[in-house]
Amino acid sequence: MRTSTILALAASTLALASPLLELEVTHQFAVTKFVFGCSASCSWSFNVTVQGEFGNHPELKTPATCSGGLDEDHDYKKCVGVDSETQEVFAYIDKDNNLLRLQYAVDNLEDHHTYRYYGEKEVYASTSENAKLQNEDFFVPEQNASHEQYLYLETPKGPSVVIAEASYPSCGPNELIIKATAMAINPAEVIVQKTGMLLTKYPAVLGCDAAGVVVELGANLTSRFQVGEHVLGATSPLEDYKYDRFQEYVVLKAPSIARFPENFRDVEAVVLPFGFNTAASCLFAKETLGLNLPGNTAADYEVMAIASEKNHGILRNIGAGECFGYHDPDMAKRITEKPKGKRVVGALDAIPKQETIGTPCEILEHVDAEEKVMAAVPPGAEAWAENNVVVKTNFGFDKETFGR
């Protein structure tokens, strides 16, 4: 292990996940001859037509035949039997959740836009204990994805947000679109809303983290992800508003897309991306601490952490070598004595408050360090430096800043 030490001032950040508003359902898929069997292998088949009543949603009168096997690598199927080259039906069965998912895509040649309509319904395999609940013919309500709902700030430093509608987003070759099921609210949103910093135009859409179900894939991502699976992603406050998260249909851009373990719910996983990016940019960006990037495992630095006593167990479990409490009157002295014979590479303050920066600055002044540098999260933290310590903030870094 390197004889290098990081001092980390930890903070607990609350991320809230919000359910999305439902769009009014005005159209439906008509499913007939439905069969869903699952024994040694799983398969499904049915016919579907689509009921519509206006220009961007014509009826699909000729039944489309949908079928697939659930043990294949890709079980999201384009169904045959469309009325024209501008109309397509896609189907997918999520057998783990017993959900039939349908998509109807219509190309409008006049405005050069593809309008998409989605629907999902719980279904039961003929081999399951609930087989008697499954009808052969049924309807699946649609949700219109040609427009989406989103939240935006109307004016600089506005006190509230507005719910509005926008066009369904386009998907580039290295992008995918999810129907968001959870989004996180983190301190960055609060800072940007209150100060207006980083925003260049209004109305402005905020949001850095989202999780949800993949509904569309860019050409370069079809071998890496599947329609119907749950993923999460992060963006920067400096991104185009197309990528911000407080929207019903969210564009995620590679490489900032990831799957998460099945035992995580979307509202649990969605808090990970921005927290991960914050830690990585503070520790590894050359503009902050500039530490060596980790390999397949940890970065191999010894960490001392300052946190509430109730969090010491968690910090030790994830690798902190020493933990100290905020209210220990001898904390600074005890920490200063620990790294003797070792080189301190810097400190990180994850709490966005001026009053917390003084302690790490005091400690850095009295330890062996090549540079007296501390990384901090809040904008303007450079001005809070004490004891000849240089404070560098990561706020507003793009995710490409540190090269990964």
Q: Tokens standing for 367?
A: 């330890």
Q: Is the peptide bond before 360 cis (omega within 30 degrees of 0)?
A: no
Judge whether residue 186 has pLDDT over 60.
Answer: yes
Q: Is the peptide bond before 203 cis (omega within 30 degrees of 0)?
A: yes
Judge whether residue 271 has pLDDT over 60.
Answer: yes
> Residue 75: its pLDDT value, please?
58
**Mean of pLDDT values over 2-7:** 53
- Average pLDDT of the residues of the chain: 78
> Residue 389: its pLDDT value, please?
87
Alpha-carbon distance 344 to 370, whole Å? 8
Contact partners, residue 190, CB within 8 Å, separation at least 6: none
Instruction: Say whether 269 sits in a helix, a strand or coil.
Output: helix
Q: E strands along 283-334, which residues?
A: 302-306, 322-324
pLDDT digits (tens, 9 = 90+) for 293-323: 877 667 778 899 999 999 999 999 988 888 9
Q: Which residue has the tokens 């090549």?
A: 370
> Residue 296: its pLDDT value, please?
60
Q: What does the longest C-alpha to C-alpha distance in the chain come to?
A: 79
Residue 245 binned pLDDT confidence (cut-offs 50, 70, 90):
low
Alpha-carbon distance 366 to 347, whole Å? 13
The DSSP call for residue 260 is -
| Domains along the chain with CATH numbers | 5-14+280-393 (3.40.50.720), 28-143 (no CATH), 147-277 (3.90.180.10)
pLDDT digits (tens, 9 = 90+) for 106-117: 877 776 667 788
The DSSP call for residue 246 is S
> 133-137, 205-209, 233-237, 370-374: which range is least confident on average?
233-237
Annotate 4-43 with DSSP letters as a single string. EEEEEE---------PPPPPPP--EEEEEEEEEEESSSEE
> Residue 312: its pLDDT value, please?
94
pLDDT digits (tens, 9 = 90+) for 336-361: 888 777 888 888 888 767 888 888 88
353 vs 332, which has greater pLDDT?
332
Q: Which residue has the tokens 């690598």?
A: 73
Sign of the alpha-carbon dihedral angle for 212, 216, 222, 228: positive
Residue 149 binned pLDDT confidence (cut-offs 50, 70, 90):
low
pLDDT digits (tens, 9 = 90+) for 201-243: 777 777 788 899 888 888 899 889 988 889 999 876 555 655 5
13 vs 254, which has greater pLDDT?
254
Neighbours of 305 (CB within 10 A): 22
> Residue 155: its pLDDT value, please?
75
Q: Which residue has the tokens 């069997």?
A: 37
